[in-house]
Amino acid sequence: MEWLRVFGARLRGLFRKRYLDGDLDAELRAHVEMLVEENIRRGMSPVEARYAARREFGGVEQSKELHREQRSIPFLDALLEDLRFALRGLRNRPGFALVAILTLSLGIGSTTAVFSVVDRLLFRSLPYPHDQELVSFGDKAPFEANEFVLGPDYVDWKKGQTPFESVTSVVPGGADCDLTEKNPVRLKCALVESTFLPTFEIQPFLGRNFTSDEDRPHAPRVALVSYGLWRSRFASDRHLPGRTIALDGKPTVVVGVLPPQFEMPNLGHDDILLPAALDGSTARGPNARQIILRAFARLKPGITIKQAAAAMEPLFQRSLDYVPPQFQHEVSFRVRSLRDRQIQDARVASWVLLGAVLAVLLVACTNVANLLLARATSRVRELAVRTALGATRGRLARQSLTESLLLGLLGGLAGCWFAQFLLRFFVSIAPDGIPRLEQASVDVRVLLFTLGVSLLSGVLFGLASALGRPAPELLVGKETRATSRGMLRQVLVTVQMAVSLILLAGAGLLLRSLWKLETVSLGMDTKSVITAGINLAEYRYPDSAKQLAFFDQVEARLKRMPGTTALALSDSLPPSGGMQATFLSSLEIPGHTKFSAGTGGMIGYRFVTPGYFPALGIPILRGRGFSEEDRAPAKRPVILSEALAKKLFPNGEDPLGKSFRFGLQTEWHTIVGVAGDVKNNGLAAPPDPEFYIPWKNETAGYFRSGNLIVQSAIHSDAIAKWIRSETAAVDPTVPVTIEVMKARVGKLARQPRFTAVLLSLFAGMGVLLAGIGIYGVVGFLVVQQTREIGIRIALGATPRNVLRMVLSNMVRWTVAGAALGLLGAWLCSRLLESLLFEVRAHDPFLLCAALLVLLAVAFLAAWIPARKAIHVDPMIALRYE
């Protein structure tokens, strides 16, 4: 422990330097004085005595130096010395320090903010233990983004599989359910297998998981409650497990509470988990092929995803035998990591943003490196003096690195603050565009990353000036020029230009794509349209008669609303997906052969009231729209979309009056009209062909959920209030989700908008920083060459000659930078391809535009300082030295 005491003493010695130095001084002086007195007493003359004392004592300064070394920790001492020196240097040049720190904080702040977002998507582990072993697997079909498993296949695969430690399934979509005690609430329930928690290695916070016995049809109902619901609804009652609650009117025993950080594998936050209650017999029953499941599994240790897929392939092939032949070649088997399934297409966008922000950081570092080099050039004399006085090259390099590290850390500090601000901005423009964004925050992990980035950039931009060779011979001459460094600075500017051009080109592509996406023709008119989504609770509206009655009443009431120009009900809304669908191959028309050998792709259909077409401004191209009479049970009219009409009657036959049947239905529908095509698959994807069936006045349909569509001249807020009060008058417990159609459509472009806005922001930063860099370099050259310019002007050079002299350099680097940047943009835009909509990755027009912007900025940045050169007064310039 003695070394600890010594270390502590030395550490203390580090900080009370001035005091301790004074102390030592006084002590040594006293000693020498005593020696002198003693010598005088012995009979020496005062001068002699002092001389003898000095000799006896030895070197005072050496003694002090030894003492100092003993007193503290030499390495730390030197570091503190360097830091103090660096701080003083920054204080002496507040302008330089401010610009450097601001520049760095832009770069580091953006990097931090973007990292805190993409970290959750790309790097940070999911909230499940050993998350890298978790996979999702199943059939992959063209009509569905995520893999799925059919009921009987799931049972077979689960029994026959070898690569997985455990397998579980979730019923997709979840469902609304109602807690029907006093103060009923609408909740989100998910149906999962009893193996769900064990597979994801989740321990219930309270109570237990449900057993496989409870996960059977007709077993007594049990439930797991989410932590949030437990806190808000059950007042954190630790005795909740074992209690019976009323769920959708049925008694259900709560067996456990889920942990706080629990989330569903599809990122959902469901309130209640219920047993899926599928056993072997259900999953093989008559309707088993209509049971669709999401299957998840935990890989056995050492098994890769590829190996797992290969091991499952035989099972999949066997299941294919049950698939109708026309599907077989369109379905394949897929295993992918849970992370891949969760982030889907956000992966490319994440990497693009991370790359962009690192490019901005690079440009920022380059700028600061340039600033430091400029300063080093003006400090050449100081460095030469220090070298002449015996400072080693290593010592000077260390000093200079300390300074840049300090700058890096200060920039990082300011960057953290900037990152908070940026993050808030990100969240505000993309509330649901990017998964997990709402969780993003600057936490310890992000701060560590920022620290690393700050230090790394400190080294990066400090290296150029730290490695510079101090030249003591400069003390002799008057001229202080550093040509090799001038060269380095030009290279740095070239790099900046290239990087900025790549950023600009990328941003241009995304912006153009976004513009196309937002102005894409929807095939309908969303102006002054308001929609209201209604989802009836099963326990209050158990049968279709009651459901129909509710919607009829609401429709009748809203028809009386003033200002309404059109009113409609439909089961789904364009342009997002989610409509009912069938395969082209299931469509039948008398006298026609089958339409497709395979599935033929998806055909969507909707149930709509007659007001649907006028309310959304969808044109009826041929025939007629629906009328109120069409809602009578006996009538079976249908309206095709134009795309479907062309598909079914490719030879220009008249579809009107033809009969038509689809799916497993036996009734024939008569085609009465053809409507214009409407986007129905999101904004970017090409629309599926679709057809319309009247929303009927009969109870056979399934109308638990519906959408009201209101077109009105009155302000949306007033309409919203009206709709709410009218539905509340029918049943106050029914929740209504009101949306302005335009905003609904706008939401669909959120993720592309997020990526485009961010990339443009970063491109803007990059270009701005590059401009500042060029400005700095040209300005510095002009100052350095002032004497030369003065002589030239004195010798009769015209302003044009001077400009050419100053700018010719600039033109050279700009051309080099632009060429490099064009090459880089050409290569990098490939990576953006999957994010683009109706824009080619190698759009020459956009590349040219980006190049023009960059050249304009470069020219402007060079022009301002270059103009100064013209106005150099030869007299003053020559007197300069």
Partner 1 sequence: MAPPRGEVLQGTLDLIVLQTLQAMGPLHGYGIARRVQQVSEDLLKLNQGTLYPALLRLEQRGWISSKWGASENNRKAKYYSLTRAGRKQLLAETESWERMTALMARLLGDTEGG
**Of 27 and 345, which has the nearer Cβ to partner 1?**
27
Q: Would you give the binding string for partner 1 spanning residues 430-449, x where CB under 8 A is met?
A: --------------------
Q: Contact with partner 1 (CB under 8 A): which of 16, 42, 66, 85?
A: 66
> Long-range contacts for 207-210 (Cβ within 8 Å, ≥24 apart)?
207/240, 207/241, 207/242, 207/254, 207/255, 207/256, 207/257, 208/241, 208/255, 208/256, 209/255, 209/256, 210/255, 210/256, 210/275
Rg (CA), the chain: 38
Per the structure block, which two tokens stand in for 806?
A: 């100053």
- Is residue 809 within the footprint of partner 1 (CB under 8 A)? no
Assign 707 to helix, strand or coil.
strand
Residue 818 and residue 573: Cα distance in Å, rounded?
Answer: 48
Should residue 421 be labelled a site residue for partner 1 when binding is judged by CB under 8 A? Answer: no
Q: Which is nearer to partner 1, 52 or 102 (CB)?
A: 52
Cβ atoms within 10 A of the Cβ of 501, count?
29
- 76 part of the interface to partner 1, by CB under 8 A: no
Shortest reach from residue 56's CB to partner 1, in Å: 6
Among 10, 300, 516, 631, binds partner 1 (CB under 8 A): 10
Verify binding: residue 25, partner 1, rule CB under 8 A: no
**Which residues fall within 8 angstroms of residue 87, CB to CB, at 6 or more apart?**
406
Judge whether 689 and 606 are in contact, CB under 8 Å.
no
Question: Pick from 2, 321, 473, 479: which binds partner 1 (CB under 8 A)?
Answer: 2
Q: Which of 14, 17, 21, 28 binds partner 1 (CB under 8 A)?
A: 28
Among 5-13, 83-91, 234-242, 642-650, the segment contacting partner 1 (CB under 8 A): 5-13
36 versus 422: smaller Cβ distance to partner 1: 36
Indicate whether 11 belongs to the interface with partner 1 (CB under 8 A).
Answer: no
For the CB of residue 43, give the shortest distance to partner 1 in the complex, in Å: 18
Please name the residues in contact with 332: beta carbons below 8 A apart, sequence gap of 6 or more: 139, 140
Taking CB under 8 A as the binding criterion, the range among 28-36, 377-385, 612-620, 836-844 that sits at the site for partner 1 is 28-36
Count the site residues for partner 1 by CB under 8 A. 28
DSSP notation for 355-421: HHHHHHHHHHHHHHHHHHHHHHHHTHHHHHHHHHTT--HHHHHHHHHHHHHHHHHHHHHHHHHHHHH
Q: Quick one: which of 17, 31, 704, 724 contacts partner 1 (CB under 8 A)?
A: 31
57/880 with CB nearer partner 1: 57
Whether 551 contacts 570, CB under 8 Å: no
Q: Residue 42 or residue 159: which is nearer to partner 1 going by CB?
A: 42
d(CA 237, CA 232): 10
Q: Could you tell me which stretch among 65-73, 122-130, 475-483, 802-810 binds partner 1 (CB under 8 A)? A: 65-73
Shortest spacing between CB 32 and partner 1, in angstroms: 9
Round to whole Å and give the CA distance between 675 and 855.
50
Q: Which is nearer to partner 1, 58 or 95 (CB)?
A: 58
How near is the Cβ of 46 to partner 1 at its closest, in Å? 16
Contact between 18 and partner 1 (CB under 8 A)? no
Question: Which is closer to partner 1, CB of 65 or CB of 313?
Answer: 65
Query: Of the candidates 27, 443, 543, 788, which one interacts with partner 1 according to CB under 8 A?
Result: 27
Segment near partner 1 (CB under 8 A), from 23-31, 606-614, 701-709, 748-756? Answer: 23-31
Report the alpha-carbon distance of residue 683 to residue 698 in Å, rounded: 34
Helix (H, G, I), strand (E, B) or coil at 447: helix
Spatial separation of the C-alpha atoms in residues 873 and 37, rounded to whole Å: 69
Contact 872, 786 (CB under 8 A): yes
Can you tell me the distance from the alpha carbon of 864 to that of 869, in angstroms, rounded to the nearest whole number? 10
Closer by beta carbon to partner 1, 63 or else 784: 63
Smallest gap from Cβ 390 to partner 1, in A, equals 24
**Residue 81 lies near partner 1 (rule: CB under 8 A):** no
Looking at beta carbons only, is 69 or 340 nearer to partner 1? 69
Distance from C-alpha of 583 to C-alpha of 597, rounded to nearest angstrom: 11
Per-residue string for binding with partner 1, 32-61, x by CB under 8 A? -xxx-x------------------xxxxx-
Q: From the list 15, 46, 70, 268, which residue makes contact with partner 1 (rule: CB under 8 A)?
A: 70
Residue 121 carries which DSSP code? I
How far is it, in rounded angstroms, from Cα 250 to Cα 256? 18
60 vs 79, beta carbon nearer partner 1 = 60
The dihedral region occupied by 880, where left means phi > 0, alpha psi between -120 and 50, and beta the remainder, is: alpha
755: which 2 tokens?
């990526």
**Which amino acid, one-letter code, is at 488?**
L
How buried is 715 (Cβ within 10 angstroms: 0-12 exposed, 13-18 middle, 19+ buried)?
Answer: exposed
What's the closest the beta carbon of residue 82 comes to partner 1, in angstroms? 25
Given 63, 544, 553, 580, the residue binding partner 1 (CB under 8 A): 63
Is there binding between residue 67 and partner 1 (CB under 8 A)? yes
Buried residues in 97-121 as b, exposed as e (16+ CB within 10 A): bebbbbbbbbbbbbbbbbbbbbbbb
Determine, following the binding rule CB under 8 A, whether residue 71 of this chain makes contact with partner 1: yes
Q: Does 62 bind partner 1 (CB under 8 A)?
A: yes
How long a stretch of residues is the chain?
Answer: 881
3-state SS class at 257: strand
Write down the least CB distance from residue 395 to partner 1, Å. 24
* Token pair recorded at residue 542: 């158990």
Least Cβ distance, residue 79 to partner 1 (angstroms): 21
Q: CA nearest 442: which of 107, 115, 106? A: 115
3-state DSSP assignment of residue 642: helix
Q: Which is nearer to partner 1, 35 or 505 (CB)?
A: 35
User: Rounded to the nearest whole angstrom, what is the least distance from the CB of residue 18 to partner 1 in the complex?
Assistant: 17
Query: What is the rounded distance in angstroms from the CA atom of residue 130 to the CA atom of residue 200?
Result: 9
Window of 6-14, 292-300, 418-426, 474-482 that interacts with partner 1 by CB under 8 A: 6-14
Among 6, 429, 467, 729, binds partner 1 (CB under 8 A): 6
Output the smallest distance, CB 84 to partner 1, in A.
24
Q: Which of residues 616-645 bind partner 1 (CB under 8 A)?
A: none
Measured from the CB atom, is 59 or 472 closer to partner 1? 59
State the minimum distance, in angstroms, from the CB of residue 38 to partner 1. 8
User: Nearest approach, Cβ of 35 to partner 1 (angstroms)?
Assistant: 7
653 binds partner 1, rule: CB under 8 A: no
Q: CB of residue 47 vs partner 1: minimum separation in angstroms?
A: 20
Q: Which is nearer to partner 1, 53 or 857 (CB)?
A: 53
Residue 604 phi, psi (nearest 5):
-90, 160
Cβ at position 103, least distance to partner 1 in Å: 45
Q: Is 143 in the site for partner 1 (CB under 8 A)?
A: no
In this structure, what token pair is assigned to residue 750?
Answer: 């959120």
Closest separation in Å from C-beta 304 to partner 1: 59
**Cβ-Cβ contacts under 8 Å for 836 (sequence gap 6 or more):** 509, 510, 513
Chosen residue from 16, 25, 30, 76 binding partner 1 by CB under 8 A: 30
Strands 149-150 and 292-299 come out as: antiparallel
CA dist 740 and 527 (Å) reads 9
* Interacting residue ranges for partner 1, rule: CB under 8 A: 2, 5-6, 9-10, 23-24, 26-28, 30-31, 33-35, 37, 56-60, 62-63, 66-67, 69-71
